[in-house]
Structure 1
Amino acid sequence: MTLQDYLEQVKSNPKSADFKQTMALIDEYYQFSPASFKNGEIYNEAGTNNGSCKIFALGLLKELSEETTLALFAEHYFEGVLNDPEGDSHQNIRNFMKTGWSGIAFDSEALQPVK
């Protein structure tokens, strides 16, 4: 499945997303360079929270909606966060739910298309 096909599938059926597949497709289509990024009140140093870094960077590059971007976190969003709304796990997901794209800022480019 191509990345574009996968994104279309997730847009039409958000719960079809799989975190490992999301990561594998990002790695297939992009060269990842760890980057520091701000997510609301959270500052993530380069090399930490690489999964969140990759998904948020992809969301910005592809101009994905906040809903589709959250769906790309798959089980971490649908099970880990939505099933535990008062919990404190997955802070990057929880912050993004509050601040959306206005809270995301990267210090450098995290993803470059593979040539």
Structure 2
Amino acid sequence: MSNSVETLLFALNLMPEVVAFEQVQAAIDEHYDYTPTRFTNGSGDDMVINEAGTNEGSCKIFAFAKLHNLNDEQTLACFGHFFRDHVLSNPEGDDHANIRTFMRHSLKDVHFDGEALKPR
């Protein structure tokens, strides 16, 4: 898969099962300026608080999803094998807290303290 944003968005629409986390990160790194930013995922007692500079892959994906108005399924596809192989294959697991919390909520419950991504 190319690192172009257009190619990535096309794949997320038509072939989300082939989207790889590494390809998403490469496209973001190539086309956006990233600023480590504190963000929260979830609500109430079911929330993950991510300080700036932590869980940067999740930060980039959630910021990208918001910029491009991705739906929840497309957003989860951006996590690639972490979502498909680690989370879906082990539904009772406690790893990948951001993915698991996101699955119980949605992109509307992801909030940033600043602007994590800016298009170049």
TM range (shorter): over 0.9
TM-score, normalising length: structure 1: 0.96
Gaps of 5+ in 2: none
1:32 aligns with 2:38: no
What amino acid is aligned across from residue 59 of structure 1 in structure 2?
Answer: A
What secondary structure, in the 3-state scheme, does the structure 2 residue paired with 1:31 have? strand
Matches within 5 A, 1:18-97: 18-40=20-42, 41-97=47-103
Shift of 1:31: 0.4
Shift of 1:102: 2.4
Write out per-residue CA displacement over residues 7-41 of structure 1, whole angstroms, 9 at most, x where no aligned residue: 11122111111111110000000000000000011
What secondary structure, in the 3-state scheme, does the structure 2 residue paired with 1:87 have? coil
1:98 aligns with 2:104: yes
What do you get for the CA RMSD once the two structures are aligned?
0.7
Provide runs of 4+ in structure 1 moved above 2 Å.
none
Partner of 2:18: 16
TM-score, normalising length: structure 2: 0.92
What amino acid is aligned across from residue 6 of structure 1 in structure 2?
Answer: L
Write out per-residue CA displacement over residues 37-70 of structure 1, whole angstroms, 9 at most, x where no aligned residue: 0001111000000000000000000000010000
